[in-house]
Structure 1
Amino acid sequence: MPRKPSFSSPTFSQRYHQKMKEKAVFAVHRLLEMTEQEMDHATELYNQAFFEDSYMKAIVGGNWSLARLQRRSVLRAALLEGEVYAVKDTDSDRIISMGICFAPGRTLFGTEAQRSLGYDDWIKHLSPEALHWNTHTVPELKKREVDPMFTKEEMKRRWWCYALFTDIDHRGKGCAKAIVNEVTRRASQADGTLGLLTTLPINVVKYKAMGFQERGMYTVPTSFGDLKAYVLTRKNGTPGFA
């Protein structure tokens, strides 16, 4: 029986690092607004990228019919008070990769104005268990597990990437890397750091190839089983492929 490839093996990691060095250069656009058609496309792209993802399954409480509503609320909130970055196909001008980030001092759904753009509608459709997980379990874990990974000074200058995704037909070309480079450049202007979280070990390898360093790991309990969450950060000047 053939052996399955090990994503954590040095061989895979080395191949991926080499692959990242050979990527094309993509223009990154910061989106300040989107048409309804662009919002529909971005929502679908976001939804497809995380379809059947275990962490996203926990967010919607296993009710995938709520996924698009949740994705749309994230995009609208980020356009209002966060920063939305995109790479577009040069031929069609359609978005093929996106990054959703918030600058220091701001958080996703952190204000009433953000929550009024779809969050309030989405949250009321959740089961009691999923509602408690989103509004209590996750914030408490962040406070107990994630925040202590950073000093007070780092917290003041920390940018956070809430989502990074690419159209399936354009993955592996360097689109996400280009977005990460741009956000890191922005963060570095104030000596800041870009942070993110993933529950997929394969993504840890990919993010490290982009110059991220692992800060720590913790367990996230969900109704569908425990997940391992990995916290990574990147600062301009760290070894990577910017």
Structure 2
Amino acid sequence: MEVSIIQSNTDLKGKLIPYMATDEQLRHLAAVSVRAFSGDFTHEVIFGGDWDLAHEYFTAIIRAGLAGGELYGVNVLDEESGECKIITFWYLVSPRYSPVPKHWNNHILPELGKQRDDLFTPEELKIRWAYVHLVTDPDYQGRGFAKALVNEVYARAKANKQLIALMTEEDNVKKYMRMGFQERGQCSVSTPESISRDLVMHIMSRE
């Protein structure tokens, strides 16, 4: 199995393509995301408990990542096909949410971002690369692909004297510490009444 790093203006096998991905590629990457994050509490809050929004949501943030950010992936070539199994890109709130999750995303979620940013100095905020969406196909988890991707992006940041940072739930803290991240602190916000508990996120960085 061959693993290589690709960026936003390449297709799933590393060939140069126009700036936006094809509809087929978007469906594939969104489907990988839906499978990988199935049951994830943070996304349950973002969706207001409505997982029917998941595919549309992930498609939207993939489009946003291609149009306004950088998309990095690990290209896994196996016996059957070459597919992008890991992706990280920018984030966009879908305009089709019902009023409750839409209000939470527009008004409560920004408070989480403010708490997060307070854990960084003004100078650090200017040089911070923020992970928003990092996902591994469940069939390929535990093989070091995510770590390889993180190391690649970190090397690019370090070469420019910058740092990388992310927010994650408690279950993932030890995993990211093994990748070289350190925890800076925690942030929390309330969730819609239909959700059972508050959202607590751990802020981590690698310098």
TM-score by length of 2: 0.87
Partner in structure 1 of residue 6 of structure 2: 29
1:96 to 57, 76, 85: 85
Partner in structure 2 of residue 54 of structure 1: 41
Report the alpha carbon displacement of residue 58 of structure 1 after superposing the two structures with TM: 1.0
Q: Give secondary structure in 2 for the equivalent of 1:83.
A: coil
Report the alpha carbon displacement of residue 29 of structure 1 after superposing the two structures with TM: 1.0
Partner in structure 2 of residue 80 of structure 1: 67
1:198 to 153, 168, 190: 168
Q: Give secondary structure in 1 for the equivalent of 2:149.
A: helix
C-alpha RMSD over aligned residues: 1.7
Q: Give secondary structure in 2 for the equivalent of 1:65.
A: helix
Partner in structure 1 of residue 140 of structure 2: 170
Q: Identical aligned pairs, as a percentage?
A: 37
Report the alpha carbon displacement of residue 81 of structure 1 after superposing the two structures with TM: 1.1
Aligned pair count reads 192
Report the alpha carbon displacement of residue 189 of structure 1 after superposing the two structures with TM: 2.3
Report the alpha carbon displacement of residue 220 of structure 1 after superposing the two structures with TM: 2.5
Q: Give secondary structure in 1 for the equivalent of 2:101.
A: helix
Q: Is the radius of gyration larger for structure 1 or structure 2?
A: 1
Shift >3 Å, 4+ stretches: none
> What does 1:198-237 correspond to in 2, within 5 Å?
198-199=168-169, 201-223=170-192, 224=195, 225-235=197-207
**Unmatched tracts of structure 2, length 5 or more:** 10-19
Q: Distance in 2 between matches of 1:128 and 1:141?
A: 19
Partner in structure 1 of residue 108 of structure 2: 137
Report the alpha carbon displacement of residue 137 of structure 1 after superposing the two structures with TM: 0.4
Q: Distance in 1 between matches of 2:27 and 2:112?
A: 32
Partner in structure 2 of residue 240 of structure 1: none
**Unmatched tracts of structure 1, length 5 or more:** 1-23, 102-107, 110-118, 236-242
The superposition leaves residues 54-89 of structure 1 with CA deviations (integer Å, 9 ceiling, x where unpaired) of: 110111111111111111110000001111111122
Larger helix fraction of residues: 1
Q: Distance in 2 between matches of 1:76 and 1:220?
A: 27
